[in-house]
């Protein structure tokens, strides 16, 4: 295929797809990407805490560092109104987030605090990591129970 034909095909495809992309708010995919990174790191630490993965101090510390920094990522553009599960498909964000924004922010603050505590102890041994891991899981669960819809 010649380069010019390739460019024309791409341009045509983009033109056809633009209305579809315009309907989707990129904040949804961006916040879901952030949560995937949470799960990636949280899962490693959870595997170590449960004994399914051998404890490795360096890996635990790196995962805890990652969680700490992920919780410090600016959230202000990830939660625009109209990106809840009642307004658009493809998200599990319950509309109650925007109805109880102060509580939602407080729960995220609890996650930040827990991630900081985990970061301080994750590389210091399995028992210390387990103790720091628990509050992170509890803060995730508290927010999920209040503000995440069930998978459809």
Q: Domain 26-147, what architecture?
A: Up-down Bundle (1.20)
pLDDT of residue 117: 98
Residue 39, token pair as written in the block: 């799960």
Residue pair 87/149 in contact (Cβ under 8 Å)? The answer is no
Exposed, middle or buried, 17 (CB in 10 Å: 0-12/13-18/19+)? exposed
- pTM for this structure? 0.81
Residues 43-68, mean pLDDT to the nearest whole number: 98
- The separation between CA 65 and the C-alpha centre of its own chain, rounded to angstroms, equals 15
Higher pLDDT, 152 or 112: 112
* Rounded Cα distance, 123 and 18, in Å: 47
Residues 68-76, mean pLDDT to the nearest whole number: 95
Residue 15 pLDDT more than 60? no
Contacting residues for 48 by C-beta, under 8 A, at least 6 apart: 54, 55, 56, 59, 60, 126, 129
Per residue in 20-35, pLDDT (tens digit) is 332 479 999 999 999 9
Residue 140 pLDDT more than 90? yes
Contacting residues for 38 by C-beta, under 8 A, at least 6 apart: 67, 70, 140
Place of tokens 């024309």: 8
Percent of the chain beyond pLDDT 70?
A: 84
Domain boundaries along the sequence of the chain: 26-147
Q: What 8-state DSSP symbol labels residue 79?
A: -
């Amino acid at each position: 295929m010649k380069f010019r034909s390739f460019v024309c095909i791409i341009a045509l495809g983009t033109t056809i797809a633009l209305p579809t992309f315009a309907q989707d708010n990129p904040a949804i995919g961006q916040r879901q990407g952030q949560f995937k990174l949470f799960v990636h790191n949280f899962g490693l630490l959870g595997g170590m805490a449960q004994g399914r993965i051998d404890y490795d101090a360096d890996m635990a510390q790196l995962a805890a560092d990652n969680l700490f920094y992920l919780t410090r990522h600016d959230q202000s553009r990830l939660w625009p109104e109209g990106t809840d599960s009642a307004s658009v498909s493809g998200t599990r964000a319950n509309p109650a987030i925007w109805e109880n924004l102060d509580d939602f922010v407080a729960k995220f603050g609890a996650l930040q605090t827990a991630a900081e505590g985990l970061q301080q102890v994750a590389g210091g041994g399995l028992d210390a990591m387990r103790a720091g891991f628990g509050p992170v899981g509890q803060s995730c669960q508290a927010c999920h129970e209040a503000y995440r819809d069930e998978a459809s």
